[in-house]
Chain A
């Protein structure tokens, strides 16, 4: 379980997060949703110790994020941010290899090579394995970074808008893969903009607005016309399809 307690965060005096407390259950896919600038990415960064905590506490599997050695946390959780630019000129295989760094510290063994190969296969990247990252399309690069995060094989995965740049087929494949990982006992926290992906695949939703948690619960509980209207300040219809909410946000 990830336990977030009384987290406040400011950037240049502007409050980004205000009194955020929540528990993120283990063994589930948890989606963070909300309008732009709600503080979803900041919360994810604080959970992933990418930014230092200003006040409050975050603990992952009872390890305090502020005090546990970073190398130990890298075996507990993998984080994928939105920024995909890499200064080093790397091949796809080399990038994915870095996902094994917390395990092998730069001296990969057979287990690490196998994990890299699995990640390549899983994300349809075998034909591009020896291409440079700057020779890939946006979606292919996104998949390469996802593959690196998968290769880290951690109990927790924190993904910030991983569907960016992905086409329909790869988006669905990714969400399916995340739910398979969930079935295998791993936990996922994912920032999503597409509410229908959240409705179809997430077990638990946390809706954020203006740096506060506006609602949380199952898709049924959160994706109601009233909650969404308040969250995005616009009217949205919600239908039902195959036992799940279907948000008609595009019409």
Chain B
């Protein structure tokens, strides 16, 4: 009897300790701290104006972070490997091309008339249809052949970029300027005109992804096993690819194409989540990845803007490190 009394607080403490070790919890705390530093560091002068500006940027970074993270994890689950990301497969290049095509078809004035949000919805819709057609067929046939997938991705990416370039050449200079501003990654000057709709879509996408998470777990077992367990395989693949296409559209519209950021995020998320039992489940993996991505973006942007004083840009460093990580994965031969 006395023993149980003695053990009780100890047990409580240990339970609390396990909770604290839950990656979602400590990553949330870290993200909260980063956000606070971002918002309130060196605040002086016109508080209201600066805070408003910083909040807008923060919202853009958080949206981009979660969109990139969730889309990358979902794409890796569908394609059954850890080295491919939507960007490597040319998803964002496809988005840029759809955007260029629309500018070419409607003209800058027509474009300006329909407003940022409807324009974004049209682009995203076109992008989703294209992505489902292209990658749906690709993944249904031979997702197991990773070499072929990487090659296809490289070729598709080049094709889409060349396509945008070709259309860009025949555009008038004004229209071309509109297109060019979205063709390079830039975290410092996010296109906040689509922030409202982008953030809404991202939140919706993340909620749907979390709702479908147990099905994505089964999808991760591979086609045959998923079907044997009664999963409507084709429909779940389409759902996952649709989510990926929409989320990539959001992040590309906001900050432009980021090639290797998703790869770093997914790699870190797997490493962190794996240390817990059940860490391979999407209910844990997706929030961990989103939190990691948001921490890297907010923390990194704070560092480069406030400490380095814009002497370097986050996108370049992230791409450099991500590229190295991609090479490391390739050379280690652990492409699964």
Contacts and interface: CB of A to CB of B under 8 A. Distances in A.
B224 A87 contact: no
A101 B218 contact: yes
Interface in A46-88: 48-50, 69-75, 78-81, 83, 85-88
A94 B277 contact: yes
Contacts, number: 82
A98 B80 CA distance: 17
A105 B212 CA distance: 11
A73 B230 CA distance: 7
Contact of A130 (B77, B217, B277): B277
Contacts of A50: 224, 227-228
A106 interface: yes
A90 to B, nearest CB: 5
B81 A70 contact: no
A87 B222 contact: yes
B274 interface: yes
B217 A98 contact: yes
B228 A78 contact: yes
Contacts of A45: 224
A225 interface: no
B134 interface: no
B222 A86 contact: yes
A152 B218 CA distance: 14
Contacts of A197: none
Given A71-B230, A74-B230, A94 B218 contact: no
A74 B278 contact: no
Contacts of B336: 85, 87
Interface in A1-59: 45, 48-50
B280 A90 contact: yes
Interface string A105-128: 111000000000000000000000
Q: Size band of the A side of the interface?
A: 20 to 34
Which of A71, A72, A87, A91 has its CB near the most chain B CB atoms (within 10 A)?
A: A87
A193 to B, nearest CB: 20
Nearest to A48: B228
Which of B80, B218, B225, B277 has its CB near the most chain A CB atoms (within 10 A)?
A: B225
A102 B222 contact: no
Contact of B280 (A79, A81, A89): A89
B220 A49 contact: no
Contacts of A98: 217-218, 221, 225, 229
B132 to A, nearest CB: 20
Interface in B190-231: 213-215, 217-218, 220-222, 224-225, 227-231
A102 B229 CA distance: 6
A74 B222 contact: no
Contacts of A91: 277, 280
B270 interface: yes
B230 A89 contact: no
Contacts of B82: 87
B232 interface: yes
Contacts of A49: 227
Given A94-B280, A105-B214, A87 B228 contact: no
Interface of A: 45, 48-50, 69-75, 78-81, 83, 85-91, 93-94, 98-99, 101-102, 105-107, 130, 152
Interface of B: 76-77, 80-82, 213-215, 217-218, 220-222, 224-225, 227-232, 270, 274, 277-278, 280-281, 336
29 contacts: A48-B228, A49-B227, A50-B224, A70-B227, A70-B232, A71-B230, A72-B230, A74-B228, A74-B229, A74-B230, A79-B224, A86-B220, A86-B221, A87-B76, A87-B80, A87-B82, A88-B217, A89-B270, A90-B280, A93-B277, A94-B280, A94-B281, A98-B218, A101-B214, A105-B214, A106-B213, A106-B215, A107-B214, A130-B277
- Top 4 closest pairs, chain A to chain B, by CB: A106-B214, A74-B230, A87-B80, A88-B220
Given A50-B228, A93-B277, 19 more contacts: A48-B227, A75-B230, A79-B224, A79-B228, A81-B224, A81-B225, A83-B224, A87-B80, A87-B82, A87-B222, A88-B280, A89-B270, A89-B274, A89-B280, A90-B280, A91-B277, A91-B280, A99-B229, A101-B231
